A and B are shown apart, each in its own frame.
Chain A
Amino acid sequence: QQQVKQSPQSLIVQKGGISIINCAYENTAFDYFPWYQQFPGKGPALLIAIRPDVSEKKEGRFTISFNKSAKQFSLHIMDSQPGDSATYFCAASIEGNYGQNFVFGPGTRLSVLP
């Protein structure tokens, strides 16, 4: 129930195209859904996040779509650029006895071709 599934494992997109990464969860108690971007040899950095009372959040070229009934959420990268080439992790978190607990998806390696 604590697992977050993520697909695809890898994604190749042409410059200017749309990149879509999907995630699914089981535990309906999760209350925060962030996306992280990680470049090789670096730590992940928060990209965008959403809470379950909102169905969509947009920040620049990045949009999260959230479907509470289906327990799914996705990241859309519009007008994808070679600089977006990185690994993307979705996550879900829940308030536990000892603070916020995070569960991460396995990651999607995105390559944007010039």
Chain B
Amino acid sequence: DGGITQSPKYLFRKEGQNVTLSCEQNLNHDAMYWYRQDPGQGLRLIYYSQIVNDFQKGDIAEGYSVSREKKESFPLTVTSAQKNPTAFYLCATGTQNTGELFFGEGSRLTVL
């Protein structure tokens, strides 16, 4: 089944813990993105990557880290340095040809 797979769908974390959100795609898209969604604020870009082993900070990268070791995978780590990590996290992929973004189903992180 083609698409973008995010896991886990729901995650609970205690303060001070790092957590990693997984994003896997089989669309063969070069670009991958991580967005954070909070109520009433739309989508804010955390990190993005156009090619393997290269990634760029978005508008709200502080407290997050990523890696791009494979074209198919773009995991996001929410570190303990992120002050307000409770949010809905969305992974997306895109192609240069069409300019479209394709989103995964999202991961909801709650910090207890």
Q: Which residues of A contact B (CB under 8 A)?
A: 6, 9, 31-32, 34, 36, 41-46, 49, 89, 91, 93, 98-102, 104-107
Q: Which of B65-73, B77-85, B96-104 contacts A (4 or more CB under 8 A)?
A: B96-104
Interface residues of B, dominant DSSP: strand
Known contacts: A46-B100, A99-B31, A99-B94. The answer to whether A106 contacts B106 by CB under 8 A is no
Q: Which residues of B contact A98 (CB under 8 A)?
A: 48, 50, 56
Q: Which residues of B contact A49 (CB under 8 A)?
A: 99-100
CA separation between A105 and B101, bound complex, in Å? 15
21 contacts between A and B (CB under 8 A): A31-B99, A32-B99, A34-B101, A43-B6, A43-B104, A43-B105, A43-B106, A44-B43, A44-B103, A45-B103, A49-B99, A93-B99, A99-B31, A99-B50, A99-B94, A99-B96, A100-B31, A100-B96, A104-B42, A104-B44, A105-B42
Interface residue from A43, A89, A100, A107 paired with B99 (Cβ < 8 Å)? A100
Total interface residues in chain B, CB < 8 Å: 27
CA separation between A106 and B41, bound complex, in Å? 5
Q: Which residues of chain B (26-67) have a CB below 8 Å from chain A?
A: 30-31, 33, 40-45, 48, 50, 56
CA separation between A31 and B103, bound complex, in Å? 20
Known contacts: A89-B42, A99-B50, A105-B42. The answer to whether A43 contacts B96 by CB under 8 A is no
Q: Which of B41, B43, B96, B104 has the most CB of A within 10 A?
A: B43
